Amino acid sequence: MTDPTRQPTPVLAWRPTTAHHRAMWPEGYWKTVVWRGLKLRCPVCGKGKLFASYFRMNDACDCCGVGFAREHGQWVGSLDINTLLTAIVLMAGVGFGPLWSLKTSLAVWCTAAVVFPILTFRFSRGVWTAIVHLTGGVY
Ligand SMILES: [Zn+2]
């Protein structure tokens, strides 16, 4: 049962500091940040780990202390990346893959539709964390 006096955590207002951050970033900084995301590291310092376990992210960087999840619904973007990747891989696989029987095709591609997004989950979260950092959301 929920406490009726407890207020929900407010969604943070959009901060107008993004242009300021961008002005101080060195040329090509976005590549460094996206690479850190693909390596599942903190987009700010590149040292702290994004994940505590396979599916559970840390709330903040254990090295520099920045918060990774700052807004409600922030991870929908990583879900979109993962869904798009999975759709592209499955469509390419079905379209350009070997000519298997229907039974084999269903077995292979249905398994791939479950396994592939699990394998890419962490990396899409990492890239999305980098994108959120570049747009001013992880600080
Ligand atoms: Zn960090």
The two structure tokens encoding residue 33: 């940040």
Model pLDDT, residue 14: 52
Which residues does 48 contact at the CB level (< 8 Å), separation at least 6?
A: 41, 42, 58, 61, 62, 63, 64
Ligand 1 centroid–CA 97 distance in Å is 41
Ligand 1 centroid–CA 67 distance in Å is 9
Instruction: Read off the pLDDT of residues 22-62 as tens digits, 9 standing for 90 and up.
Output: 667 788 888 999 999 999 999 989 999 999 999 999 988 99
How do the domains of the chain map onto residue ranges? 36-134
pTM, rounded to two decimals: 0.77
Place of tokens 């999975």: 86
Ligand 1 centroid–CA 74 distance in Å is 18
pLDDT at residue 96 above 90?
no
Question: HEC states along 89-111?
Answer: HHHHHHHHCCCCCHHHHHHHHHH
Ligand 1 centroid–CA 37 distance in Å is 11
Q: How would residue 2 be classed by pLDDT, with cut points 50, 70 and 90?
A: low
Please state the rounded mean pLDDT for residues 127-135.
89
Please state the rounded mean pLDDT for residues 112-136.
92
Ligand 1 centroid–CA 96 distance in Å is 41
